[in-house]
Chain A
Amino acid sequence: AQSVTQLGSHVSVSEGALVLLRCNYSSSVPPYLFWYVQYPNQGLQLLLKYTSAATLVKGINGFEAEFKKSETSFHLTKPSAHMRDAAEYFCAVRGGGADGLTFGKGTHLIIQP
């Protein structure tokens, strides 16, 4: 069975600083990986997804993630944080014989002015 682990339930960065949100997966087969964002009082929105076409995936709002098989990781980054990036971020995996999406517990990103 597949699973994802998001390190850090809360991450705080200064405006303009690098954002790094960590996600490690566990899957017996090559996985399909997703990052979702949930802004305050809104539903989940897809940021980006890894589908094996390229290891570096670019998403919306300047975010990107790199798939590293050797590290079983799919960390989310953004070079320069904006106040509007404050939200909850979820990593999810699909695969390993199960069609459903399995989510991590989420990371709350706080942007300090």
Chain B
Amino acid sequence: GAGVSQSPSNKVTEKGKDVELRCDPISGHTALYWYRQSLGQGLEFLIYFQGNSAPDKSGLPSDRFSAERTGGSVSTLTIQRTQQEDSAVYLCASSPQGSMNTEAFFGQGTRLTVV
């Protein structure tokens, strides 16, 4: 596709349920990022995939959060046993491999509401 695609755009879930958020990066982009945006908190880094390298998971807030990237393309962010504090906009971005001066291209995000 022309840009980074995220689905669903909105998700309302009950506390304690598991959710899966999907990201389709721009074709050919080897780097993929997940961020969380909460009101007044800016962009919080969650996880970073680069090609076949081991992902940088240093931003995942707890072991309830996990992410995978299949075939170097589509990525899924999974939140288990959701809590109300997980409510936020989850943003995915992708970037071409190569030089450090390339920017990341963002999707529209998934707005997660835990009730």
Contacts and interface: CB of A to CB of B under 8 A. Distances in A.
B40 interface: yes
A43 B31 CA distance: 18
Contacts of B107: 43
B100 A44 contact: no
Contacts of A46: 103, 105
Interface residues of B, number: 23
Interface stretch (A15-23, A68-76, A78-86, A99-107): A99-107
Interface string B85-115: 0000001010100001101111111000000
Contacts, number: 51
Interface residue SS majority, chain B: strand
A105 B41 CA distance: 6
16 contacts: A9-B40, A43-B107, A43-B108, A44-B93, A45-B106, A51-B101, A90-B43, A95-B100, A98-B56, A99-B48, A100-B33, A100-B48, A101-B45, A101-B95, A101-B104, A104-B42
